[in-house]
Amino acid sequence: MKIGFIGCGNMAKAMIGGVIRSGVCQKEEILASDAFAPARSAAAESLGICVTESNTEVAEKTEILVLAVKPQFYEEVAEEIRGSLHENQLVVTIAPGKTLAWLEEHLGKETAIVRTMPNTPAMVGEGVTAMCPNAMVTQPQLAACRALLESFGRAEQIPERLMDAVVAVSGSSPAYVFLFIEAMADAAVAEGMPRAQAYSFAAQAVLGSAKMVLETGKHPGELKDMVCSPAGTTIEAVQVLEETGLRSSVMQAMRVCAEKSRSMGGK
């Protein structure tokens, strides 16, 4: 199976790395393009894939085509490759705000398209990706797309109306988590812990806590209560987080994130 990527940025490289590691296809079967020559060179050197400066070449020679460029370049790229798309080809997109209707209008209504939203933890094989196919996608194509996405983490099919919520809850949320880890590490440093050790403790605590949510099936509130002993240290900290509006801040941040996603075109 020949897979093509238009764009060789961080997300594309994360996806390609997962595809190669999982054996979904061999590196020799991957063809990628990028307008920026150093990006092409870096992808070829680090991943061992074939690269080209021609987007149309990638479109013509691949069975699954991933559009991994920034949203503001989608219209330009769609116009460029539209005439090079071929029968039985699947186009996978990762841009927020670009709806299936917008994509069909710019790529052709007969094009099989899966709209997705991955996130950067794909770089370490722990991504989560939402996927939403249009009516032209066959079951074998959907299965192939899922295999591609699950090569670097989890994948879930959702209705398109939830895609902006996905952008807020997983697409952008690694940034929120990194801020939280950094803040915890800063506080540990203030208590005398060396910075590298502080980052290690904070990051592992977040990793382990997330794993408990996923693997125990318990409600996060129940897991929080398990840590909060009566008259203990944790409940004191939780009280401060409640007083200073942690929940409200996160919810407001996700709301504006989803609104921004909706405003990025294609509605």
Task: Convert the pLDDT of each residue in 163-193 to its tens digit.
Answer: 999 999 999 999 999 999 999 999 999 999 9
- Indicate whether 267 belongs to any domain: no
For residue 113, the number of C-alpha atoms closer than 13 Å in the C-beta half-sphere is 24
Residue range 13-41: average pLDDT?
Answer: 93
Please say which residue of 139, 161, 183 terminates a domain.
Answer: 161
Mean pLDDT of the region 95-112: 95
Range of the domain at 16: 3-161
Q: Which of 108, 142, 161 is the last residue of a domain?
A: 161
Q: Which residues are annotated as a binding site for NADP(+)?
A: 6-11, 68-71
Q: In terms of domains, do 52 and 149 share one? A: yes
Q: Are residues 149 and 189 in the same domain?
A: no
- How does residue 264 score in pLDDT terms, banded at 50, 70 and 90? confident
Q: With 90 as the cut, is the pLDDT of residue 1 above it? A: no
Among residues 190, 210, 212, 185, the alpha carbon closest in space to that of 200 is found at 185
Residues 152 and 200 occupy one common structural domain: no
What does pTM read for this prediction? 0.92
Annotated binding residues for NADPH, written as ranges, equal 55
Percent of the chain with pLDDT over 90: 95
State the average pLDDT over residues 21-26.
Answer: 90
* Total domains, the chain: 2
My answer on whether 119 and 213 are in the same domain is no
**Final residue in a domain of this structure, among 128, 161, 194:** 161
Per the annotation, where are the binding residues? 6-11, 55, 68-71
